[in-house]
Structures are given as C-alpha cells and as structure tokens.
Amino acid sequence: MTEKKVVTTVFGIRNCDTMKKAFAWLEANGVAYAFVDYKKAGVAQGRLPDWNGRAGWQKLLNTRGLMWKKLSDAERADVDEAKALQLMAQYPSLIKRPVVEAGGALLVGFDPETFARHLK
C-alpha cells in the first residue's frame, strides 16, 4: 500500500523576508510545495472565508507590517471581522505570511516548530 502524499500549498508574497525564511526551511527539510503569490494570483478573496473560519481573522490580519501602517486612521479604526476581511481582500499584503495549506492543517505565519510538527 502506498502512502498518500500530502500536497502543501504555500500562499504569500515572494519577496517578503518571512516568506524567504519559510522557503529556506521547506527546502532544507525536503518539503515539496506549490507556491501561490496571492498578490498576483488574486486568490486571497476566494480563500479568505475558509481561512477565517479555520484560523480567525485576528490571526490572519498582519497589523505589524508596512501595509497596515500605510492605511488611514479611519481604515485602522474599529476593525471587526467584516472590516478585516474587506481590508485583506482589498490589500492582500495585510494577510500574515505565509499561509500554508497542508492536508487538513492551515498554518499562518512562519514558526519553525509549527512547521516541523505539521509538515514532516
């Protein structure tokens, strides 16, 4: 009986420093993956409802990045689930990187220990 191969899909933005760390970890650990640049491919909006249901908008929304700082005070004010999803759809750079789908797991952000638990 052959072992079923888990397909790992990494979503993010190629030139992001955190993405570079994630790519290096994946390659060093022999994890095969498909990469989707969600800024170019425009897949974020279609996947956001699923990701939100699995991880929560608070985990997905990157409030520490440059894009967040570029938003107006009004855009950053009173963020709730609906507003966060709308902002992330409008500005995919606001989605924390990487987002990794592997089997049933959804990993948000790069953490070597979490990657090791779910991707080896």
Among the options 16, 44, 87, 106, which is catalytic? 16
Query: Active site includes 16?
Result: yes
The encoded tokens of residue 3 equal: 């072992």
Specify the residue for token string 């993405």: 19
Surface-to-core class of residue 2, CB atoms within 10 Å of its CB (0-12 exposed, 13-18 middle, 19+ buried):
exposed
Given CA atoms 43, 47, 48, 52 in this order, what sign does their dihedral have? negative
Catalytic residues: 16
